[in-house]
Amino acid sequence: MPNSLQITTANVDPALLDLPWEVPLEEWPEDILAALPRGISRHIVRFVNLSGRVIAVKEIGETVAHHEYELLRDLSRLSAPSVQPTAVITGRTDKNGEELNGVLVTEHLTFSLPYRALFRQNMSPETATRLIDALAVLLVRLHLLGFYWGDVSLSNTLFRRDAGAFSAYLVDAETGELHAKLTDGQRAYDVDLARVNIIGELMDLQAGGYMGEDADVIEIGNRIVERYNLLWDELTAPQLIEGGKKWKVAERIERLNALGFSVGELTMNAEGTDLLIQPKVVDAGHYHRQIMRLTGMDVGEAQARRMLDDLETYRTLKGLKDQPIEVTAHQWMQNVFQPAIDAIPPELMKKLEPAQVFHEILDHRWFLAKERQADVPRKEAVQSYIDNVLKEKQDEAVFLDLDPLDDLSEE
């Protein structure tokens, strides 16, 4: 390790010091690299196996690396959906003493994929609209935190399956800025930039034969504006409620919860006999926090909602409505969720994350029951899912053997 090497990190992993920092990133040996899908990037990025996990190493200028590292740390403290920063390494020189660029090191987000890898698996306009919906939610969440992205695109985002939808995570914060509150102009610029970039990215997919020629990529790309504005207004717009209709306050809160957000505080002002309400503090993860509290599991929002639905069904069928939900949740984990996951053979465990597997088992059981017009036992549904569905899926913990379309960096 060169003597001039400088490492900025909150927690030093000694194994980090053993990596070949004196070698340009594009020349790093294959035996230390992890075979993961890569997205489009302005920089050289490599994935590295380190201490039983995977890290992403991005070669970048020193000033920008420190800026992005601090921004990602701030976003992490704010619980924003983003990759976790590990370190900034500067002072790199090659064996001849020539200066090399610094690097930003982040944790690889397990079970996440860049959008191009997802299109390789399911090349349809429906996939594109679901990704755009996820990106709209991500952008609203970031804007509510006061984060101006400045480079919104599918390429700068990672996606995880979340039940039948996707969850989106920021993966590139180079151009980002954190403010106390964003102006309407800053928000509008981010949204319009997202629209332009998405249309360009979908055109590239279409030109490469990864999306049907009949798909209207401009219409699909414009969806980001519609979805963002609808969600932003639902979360922030004031609502005038007529006198005698105070039940609409609860209705507004339920709509916010259905979108995956919970209300921390409502501002209410009386105007004669009417009431003006406005959500003042909103944050995402209503169902996520519920399932985390009840089971300790960290899962996606839609996955959490599906698990809670199954928990409530179990509670009803077992006649446990009078029992505390915390006690029922423990029984449900022991008798329903864990047996389903334990039934997965070890060689298939990297196919999907457990919460997604459970969601798909519920779907599979429903389809079997519909086909037979009769109930299907859980154990039978689990085994049928393993044999007929899971075995055919590609590993999403470590996604291998990509074609040239995906042979680009994640960031």
What is the pLDDT, as a whole number, of residue 40? 60
Answer whether residue 406 is part of any domain.
no
Asked if 92 and 21 touch (Cβ cutoff 8 Å), the reply is yes
Element housing 132 (H / E): helix 125-144
* 66, 84, 109 - which closes a domain: 109
What is the DSSP code (8-state) at residue 395?
A: P
What is the DSSP code (8-state) at residue 321?
A: T
What is the pLDDT, as a whole number, of residue 282? 45
Answer whether residue 411 is part of any domain.
no
Same domain, 269 and 315: no
What is the pLDDT, as a whole number, of residue 257? 67
Phi/psi for 170 (5° steps) reads -70, 135
| Helix and strand totals (H; E) in the chain | 12, 13
What is the pLDDT, as a whole number, of residue 392? 81
CB count within 10 Å of CB 18 equals 11
Answer whether residue 13 is part of any domain.
yes
For the CA atoms of the chain, what is the radius of gyration? Answer: 23
3-state SS of 41-61? CCCCEEEEEECCEEEEEEEEC
Q: Characterize 143-152 residue by residue with b for buried, 16 or more Cβ atoms within 10 angstroms of its Cβ, and e for exposed.
A: bbbebbbebb
Pair of tokens at residue 330: 């423990």
* 218, 253, 284 - which closes a domain: 284
3-state helix, strand, coil in the chain (%, to 5): 45, 20, 35
Same domain, 17 and 42: yes
Answer whether residue 291 is part of any domain.
no
Domain residues for the domain of 335 are 300-392
Same domain, 199 and 149: yes
Place of tokens 């209503």: 286
Q: Tell me whether strands 261-271 and 239-241 are parallel, antiparallel or unpaired.
A: unpaired
Answer whether residue 401 is part of any domain.
no
CB count within 10 Å of CB 3 equals 6
C-alpha to C-alpha distance for 46 and 56, rounded to whole angstroms: 6
What CATH code is carried by the domain that includes residue 17?
A: 3.30.200
Asked if 352 and 390 touch (Cβ cutoff 8 Å), the reply is yes
What is the DSSP code (8-state) at residue 334?
A: I
Answer whether residue 96 is part of any domain.
yes
Residue numbers in the chain where pLDDT is lower than 50: 1, 280-282, 398-411
User: Given phi > 0 = left and psi -120 to 50 = alpha, else beta, which region is 146?
Assistant: left
Same domain, 255 and 167: no
Pair of tokens at residue 43: 């920089």
Same domain, 187 and 276: no
Tell me which residue of 239, 226, 227, 228 sits closest to 280, measured CA to CA.
239
Same domain, 149 and 172: yes
What CATH code is carried by the domain that includes residue 163?
A: 1.10.510.10
Same domain, 226 and 254: no
Answer whether residue 369 is part of any domain.
yes
Pair of tokens at residue 180: 């106390």
What one-letter code names the amino acid at 365?
A: R
What is the DSSP code (8-state) at residue 38?
A: B
* 109, 131, 166 - which closes a domain: 109
Q: Side-chain half-sphere of 57: how many Cα atoms within 13 Å?
A: 25
What is the pLDDT, as a whole number, of residue 404? 38
Same domain, 312 and 343: yes
Q: How many domains does the chain have?
A: 4
Tell me which residue of 225, 230, 113 sits closest to 169, measured CA to CA.
113
Same domain, 145 and 258: no
Asked if 25 and 43 touch (Cβ cutoff 8 Å), the reply is no
Which 3 state secondary structure label does DSSP give 10? coil
Same domain, 205 and 279: no
Same domain, 159 and 222: yes
Asked if 178 and 74 touch (Cβ cutoff 8 Å), the reply is yes
What is the pLDDT, as a whole number, of residue 121? 60
Same domain, 117 and 102: no
Answer whether residue 410 is part of any domain.
no
C-alpha to C-alpha distance for 400 and 395, rounded to whole angstroms: 8
